[in-house]
A and B are shown apart, each in its own frame.
Chain A
């Protein structure tokens, strides 16, 4: 089949879509992943009041909306913590590693979503 200019454009567009589309078809948005995996401890607003935040735990889940807390970590450190768990950044092991469950790009997007939950004028970018 000879490629005309029009169907060449269509083919190029399809090629781009194939490259952008997640391989498994399961990749979720950062908000969806946060709601499924993180809300159980951090709560939907990130303040650390999820259903698992019970008084017997060694520490409470971190308040992700608190600029004071969030300024302690660079974006790269948040990615490390999400991937390998709290101890990688001297946090408690209550924060588990999600690197075996989520893809690298999902974790990067999740870091940006976590950043967006910070409230106040002095939140890190």
Chain B
């Protein structure tokens, strides 16, 4: 047993204890606390948290108030998510689930709450998604041009999604903006989405690509496109 003597050693241990107490609340911040907060704030009123969610008839889809989040940890980048929860900005130029111009207001969380809710959301991953299909590395200039052709010509993705072109932010409004998507989205999840968007958004307006009867892209092209979106 260590015997404490009055003097520098005891003071040192005291300092360690004090520091431990100060840091205790931060160390406790995590998915469980975040989940409690998420439920207390009734976030589930707009976000579906278990999935995959079921498709509903198209006539009922405009009643859906927000995106499902059961795969949030596979989709988002941690740093972006926490910053967004603290200072939410509109990702759509239409109200969610409608074609009505405008934006939904989203509650802003305190810094501490954003960290806790963020930890909870990042703990929710799609078990079927295999990481590593797409590299998050920067594309070189040649590959960027090749990918941009897929995005703007092979399929006109910016017909529904805004993106940062050389001419500025351009594109349609019905889909979420892809301006700065590289800060927000994980390239592996983008690839999984492009291969099977019904798994994540069965009630979306987006065409279905990937491993389907009427294929517009090869899987190599989908990987390049995902990496490109991860570079936007």
Contacts and interface: CB of A to CB of B under 8 A. Distances in A.
Contacts of B25: none
A84 B216 CA distance: 8
A40 B205 contact: yes
B174 A97 contact: no
A36 B61 CA distance: 9
B167 interface: yes
Interface residues of A, number: 31
A contacts with B: majority SS: loop
Interface in B136-170: 152-156, 158-160, 165, 167, 170
Interface string A101-123: 10000000000000000000000
Contacts, number: 90
Interface stretch (B51-59, B104-112, B221-229): B51-59
A26 interface: yes
Question: How big is chain B's contact interface, by range?
Answer: 20 to 34
A56 B205 contact: no
Given A57-B159, A98-B207, A100-B207, A28 B153 contact: no
Which of B99, B159, B207, B216 is the most central at the interface, judged by chain A CB atoms within 10 Å of its CB? B159
A28 B216 contact: no
A83 B55 CA distance: 20
B171 A26 contact: no
A26 B156 CA distance: 28
Interface string A38-58: 011100000000111110111
Interface of B: 55-59, 61, 94, 99, 101, 152-156, 158-160, 165, 167, 170-174, 198, 205, 207-209, 212-214, 216
